[in-house]
Every structure is written in C-alpha cells, then in structure tokens.
Amino acid sequence: MKILVAVKRVIDYAVKIRVKPDKTGVEMNNVKMSMNPFCEIALEEALRIKEAGKASEVVVVSMGGPQCVETLRTGLAMGADSAIHVSTDTPLYPLAVAKLLCAVASREQPQILLLGKQAIDDDANQTGQMVAGLLQWPQATFASKVALGDKSDVTVEREVDGGLETLRLQLPAVITTDLRLNEPRYATLPNIMKAKKKKISSITPEELKVDIQPDFMILEVVEPAKRKGGVMVSSVDELVDKLKNEAHVI
C-alpha cells in the first residue's frame, strides 16, 4: 500500500513574524523556513504505518518554488521513500493546492492521503477537506489516533469541539493530522545520507492539466491593532458616556 503525504514549507514556528512595511505581506527575507509542524506529524504517522508493515511506500509531495526541494529533502531524511515536487512560481492557495493534490493522487494511486490539518502561515484548514471532495474520498480530519484495520479500512479518532469522535473509513481515504497524534522523529545522519540518493521527481501544473490561477487577490496585510490598555472609570455616568460616545455600543 502506498501512502502519499503532502507537506508545506512555512516560516519556522518559533520565528517572530513581522509584516512588511509596504503591507504586501509578511517579511520572508532572511527568515528561517521549515516544514509545517502538522505536516511533520502527518509524515511521522505515515512512517509509523510503514514500519508496522501495513504500508510499502511513503511518498512526500510539496508544491511551490525551488526551495520546496529543501523541505522534501527533510521529508526524505525522516524516512520517506521518494518525493514529488510540483514546481510553480504562482502563489498557491488552498483550492489550487487541493486541485493539484487531486491530480497527483490520481497518478500515484495511494490508499491514504495524509496532510497536516492546517498550515501555520495561513491557518486555512481547507486543503484536506477540499481534496477529499475533489477525489470523492472519505475524510477524517483532526486525527489524534489512526489505526488501520484488516478490511481495507482505517479507524480514526478525531478531536472535535465536543470531545473525541471515532470514525471508520473505507480506503482510499484522506486523513488530516492534529497535534496529539504523535511526536515526529528527528532526522538522523544515516537517513540524511540515504536521502541524498532518493528520487525527487519534478512536475508542473501544466503537465498535470490543472488551472491554478487564484480567484482572489490579497489587497493588504496588516498587523492586528495593538491591544489598548484598559481604562478605569470612576462612576457609572462616565461608563455610560464612554460606552455611548467612544465604544459606540449603546
């Protein structure tokens, strides 16, 4: 069984984000980039399934400019068998990514498509769900436990607002991972060395026959307004006055 894991290259979780002065986006120059933490968890889960003998091959895929290759190398260093780089310079948003993943999955024919639940740069939490819709595959999102069954099925425990929900899905299926699923392994030297020889194949959206033109445009990116300090009022009259004339809520 083949598992396909989609990973995204994002600004490192520990870096303090700064908005560019021209408000066109976030400062990306000279900033440490790494694999999205949820994607790491997804890849770790795929590797564990493979180590348990239930899968034969783990393929990582990432989309974007040439730097994606670094992230794919990390994936290979963790233990993935091969990698696919969908090469494009057009900015990608969740729907485009979902369409591309759909095309890649149709080619690769995996039994499980694993993704992180969301990327820490846009916090969209859309790609997994949309790809499942496009592929017409069952989906289990926010997975905190994944267990493969014998009858070509998988049981997934999800973390939802009300608590935990357990679903059983027929493969092939889409699973998106949440924080408590596992703790990703470190990339060890022997694997890093082996990773150098593993294959990274490159493909373009044109070859996949997918239209990735975004259907919206980002106008402006600004920091959220700084939280103003609280004000102590001295009487009820003053409170009413402030609510009326400053906060405009009454």
Partner 1 sequence: MKSLSRNSHNWRRLGWAVKRGETIEQAPASLGSARGSSGLLRDEGKGVRKSQSRIVSRALSVSDAKPVVRQIDSWCGCCSSHQRGYGSAPGDGQVYRDKRYAELKDADIVHFRQILGEKGVVVDRDDLDWANTDWMHKYRGNSQLLLRPQTTQQVSEILQYCHAGRLAVVPQGGNTGLVGGSVPVFDEVILNLGAMNKILSFDEASGILVCEAGCILETLDNYLKSRGHTMPLDLGAKGSCQIGGNVSTNAGGLRLLRYGSLHGNVLGLEVVLADGTVLDLLGTLRKDNTGYDVKQIFIGAEGTLGVVTKVSVLTPPKLASVNVAFLACEDYASCQKTFAEAKQQLGEILSAFEFLDRHSLELVLKHLDGARDPLPDSKESFYLVVETTGSNQTHDKEKLDAFLESALEKELIKDGAVAQDISQAASFWKVREVPGAVYKYDLSLPLKDLYSLVEDMRERLRDSATVIGYGHMGDGNLHLNVVAPSYDDKLVSQIEPYVYERTAAVKGSVSAEHGLGLMKPKAIYYSKPPAAVQVMAGFKDLLDRHGILNPYKPTASVKSTKTFGTPTFDVTICRSDETPLQTKLKVKFEQMPLLV
Interface with partner 1 (CB under 8 A): 12-16, 30-35, 37, 40, 70, 74, 77-78, 183, 186-190, 192-193, 196
How many other C-beta atoms lie within 10 A of the C-beta of residue 1? Answer: 15
If the CB atoms of residues 16 and 226 are measured against partner 1, the closer one turns out to be: 16
Query: Measured in Å, how far apart are the chain's first and last C-alpha atoms?
Result: 62
Q: How far is the CB of 208 from partner 1 (least distance, A)?
A: 27
Q: Record the tokens describing residue 185, joined without a space.
A: 């392994």
If the CB atoms of residues 29 and 235 are measured against partner 1, the closer one turns out to be: 29
If the CB atoms of residues 65 and 208 are measured against partner 1, the closer one turns out to be: 65
DSSP codes, 137-177: --EEEEEEEEEE-SSSEEEEEEEETTEEEEEEEESSEEEEE
If the CB atoms of residues 118 and 129 are measured against partner 1, the closer one turns out to be: 118
Residue 110 vs residues 31, 114, 173, 177: alpha-carbon distances, Å: 34, 10, 9, 17
How many other C-beta atoms lie within 10 A of the C-beta of residue 186? Answer: 8
Q: How far is the CB of 58 from partner 1 (least distance, A)?
A: 17
Q: How far is the CB of 197 from partner 1 (least distance, A)?
A: 12
Q: How far is the CB of 78 from partner 1 (least distance, A)?
A: 8
